[in-house]
Amino acid sequence: MFDLQDKVATSVAGVIEPALQAAETARSVSRPTIDLTAYDLYLRAFSISISSDKQMPEAIRLLEQAIKRDPHYGPALAWAAFCCFRLCLDGLSKDFAEDRLKGISFARRALEVAGDDPSVLANAAMALAYFGEDIGAMTALADRAVALNPGFARGWYTCGVLRCWAGEPDAAIEDINASLRLSPRARIGNSSAVLGRAHFLSRRFDQAVPKLLLAIQDDPTYPEPYRTLAACYAHMGRLEEARNVIERLRNITPVVVPPFNFLRSPEHRDLFLSGLRLAAGETA
């Protein structure tokens, strides 16, 4: 009976959390900073960054203004780190080394003031994991975020992403599905892209393809599912389709074959790179 009560409570929390967050933003209450201008800058940056990946540089500029006004503003620091990570991941960074250093600095400063804020922990952990910090430690931070708030759908999504990077695709799928059960209608991240990548890394190519096609349909400007789909088609011997996906990818980003250092498994990196190079017509 108690287990059932816990499951019901968690499910209810996951369903109502997105609505509560939207209402919280609209009311502008419970601010983690007393500087109203910093808070306004953070909200503007958050809004434009989730509306378009191409707005990441402007979002970072606004967040830097917010952080200058309040250097201990945890959510702004963590989201600035996340934006730096996405700028690099999507191939839109004009100076990868500089944006990497900025992202690491923002994330580490965020963790210094995070306390028990699940969102700050999750966003900082994802950025630091991408930029090369110990993947086990970063996954533990994400796990702590969902332990603090089991109804935190984005926290479960972060756990799934990090476990996929760590070389645990089946565990990643479990976490992403937990996220979707909690918040099936909220846009908490491109869950289909993560599911597609996880199936791809497990060589379940037939299961990966529909997830990746759905991810591209959901967000045609997000380059990652194009890369995974092209590699997937290549390994399936569907080279014409793979090359068509590469052409679509080139319209989004000039970076077709990025470094895949965030994938900690050498086998997974090789699977990705060999498929993507084959799709792109590269020999090495």
Q: Render pLDDT for 93-104 as a digit per residue (tens, 0 to 9).
A: 999 999 999 999
Angle between helices 266-280 and 223-235 (to 10 degrees): 90
How far, in Å, CA of 240 to CA of 20, rounded? 46
**Torsional class of 115: left (φ above 0), alpha (ψ -120 to 50), beta (otherwise):** left
**Which tops the pLDDT comparison, 259 or 270?**
270
pLDDT at 258 over 70: yes
DSSP state of 120: H
Domains belonging to the chain, first-starting first, are: 31-133 (1.25.40.10), 190-284 (1.25.40.10)
Mean pLDDT along residues 49-74: 92
Compute the distance between CA of residue 51 and CA of residue 189 in angstroms, rounded to an integer: 12
pTM, to two decimals: 0.86
**Alpha-carbon distance 159 to 108, whole Å?**
19
Is 15 in a helix, a strand, or coil? helix
User: What pLDDT digit, counting tens, does each position of 117-172 carry?
Assistant: 999 999 999 999 999 999 999 999 999 999 999 999 999 999 999 999 999 999 99
CA 157 to chain centre: 8
What is the predicted pLDDT for the residue at 75?
96
Q: How confident is the model at residue 202 (pLDDT cuts 50, 70, 90)?
A: very high
Q: Which two tokens stand for residue 34?
A: 């007393």
Is 108 a residue whose pLDDT tops 70? yes
DSSP code for 253 = -
pLDDT of residue 28: 35
CB within 8 Å of 236: residues ≥ 6 apart: 205
Confidence band for 259, pLDDT divided at 50, 70 and 90:
confident
> Percentage of the chain surpassing pLDDT 70?
86
